[in-house]
């Protein structure tokens, strides 16, 4: 009996520690939800053995099937994210007409760590392909003193990118708006249907390319490297975001 109780108590203590250390992040909530689902299945199986009622056994099997489908879909989506991440390391430069760097938050006028990783990746590429223009895309959100695009442009200039190459898009607040508005700005400069290199975070490459495809944009992805714990948390979050995007496409 003590061993059975420890099976339940130890994971609960572990989850409690995670909540204290990391807070209610996607990663911690994901672990918690998995534990609760497995615990529910175990309880139903134990009840079916104790009471010999078939209803508990059927419910346990139902939840096992649901959980199995979820795990398979999670593995498939995460595998695809990693696949696209590896692909982003091999850019076909001859197919890049313009670079679009997606905004990711400021603290006042200072780029967030996520945005810095995107800017670093974008600047590194722009130094190797010196003819291609770049769109910095991002509006002004809560807690931001200036539009993200303005801070992004400053960063690029300070890191050796000529201001003549930089095109500003200062209204967007979502990835969809980033790409749509950037294409409208480019069309205003006379650039129609360009092949785009989207610079974003490693965990965000797949969804950015999905949105680009929805807008009819031919694109490649270039990933900024996220810190380990950020990467783990947001890779989990992207599963739900990608599933939501796919569901919306199916419904529409």
Among 38-47, 60-69, 110-119, 235-244, the least confident range: 38-47
Whole-angstrom distance, CA of residue 71 vs CA of residue 172: 34
> In terms of domains, do 164 and 215 share one?
yes
Q: What is the pTM of this model?
A: 0.83
Last residue of a domain, one of 87, 121, 141: 87
Q: What are phi and psi of 101, to 5 degrees?
A: -100, 125
Q: Can you spell out the DSSP letters for 232-252?
A: HHHHHHHHHHHHHHHHHHHH-
> In terms of domains, do 74 and 101 share one?
no
Last residue of a domain, one of 59, 87, 115: 87
pLDDT, tens digit, 9 for 90 and up, residues 35-64 = 888 888 888 888 777 666 778 788 888 989
pLDDT, tens digit, 9 for 90 and up, residues 118-141 = 999 999 999 999 889 999 999 998
Among 5-19, 115-129, 146-160, 166-180, the least confident range: 5-19
> In terms of domains, do 72 and 97 share one?
no
> In terms of domains, do 77 and 120 share one?
no
> What domain count does the chain have?
2
> In terms of domains, do 203 and 171 share one?
yes
Please count the CA atoms within 13 angstroms of the CA of 167 that sit on its side-chain side: 20
> In terms of domains, do 165 and 231 share one?
yes
> In terms of domains, do 57 and 137 share one?
no
Could you tell me the residue range of the domain that residue 23 belongs to? 2-87
């Amino acid at each position: 009996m003590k061993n059975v109780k420890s099976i339940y108590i130890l994971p609960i203590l572990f989850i409690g520690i995670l909540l204290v250390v990391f807070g209610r992040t996607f990663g911690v909530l994901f672990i918690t939800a998995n534990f609760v689902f497995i615990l529910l299945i175990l309880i139903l199986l134990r009840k079916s053995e104790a009471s010999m009622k078939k209803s508990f056994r059927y419910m346990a099997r139902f939840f096992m099937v649901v959980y199995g489908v979820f795990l398979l879909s999670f593995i498939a989506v995460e595998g695809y994210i990693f696949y696209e991440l590896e692909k982003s390391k091999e850019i076909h430069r001859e197919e890049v007409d313009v670079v679009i760097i997606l905004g990711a938050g400021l603290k006042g006028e200072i780029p967030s760590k996520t945005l810095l990783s995107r800017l670093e990746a974008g600047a590194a590429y722009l130094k190797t392909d010196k003819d291609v223009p770049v769109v910095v895309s991002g509006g002004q959100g809560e807690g931001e003193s200036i539009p993200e695009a303005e801070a992004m442009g400053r960063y690029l200039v300070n890191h050796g990118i000529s201001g003549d190459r930089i095109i500003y898009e200062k209204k967007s607040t979502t990835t969809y708006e980033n790409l749509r508005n950037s294409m409208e700005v480019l069309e205003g400069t006379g650039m129609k249907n360009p092949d785009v290199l989207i610079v974003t975070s490693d965990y965000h490459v797949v969804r950015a390319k999905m949105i680009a495809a929805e807008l009819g944009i031919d694109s490649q992805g270039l990933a900024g490297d996220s810190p380990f714990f950020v990467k783990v948390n947001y890779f989990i979050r992207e599963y739900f975001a990608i599933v939501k995007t796919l569901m919306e496409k199916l419904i529409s």
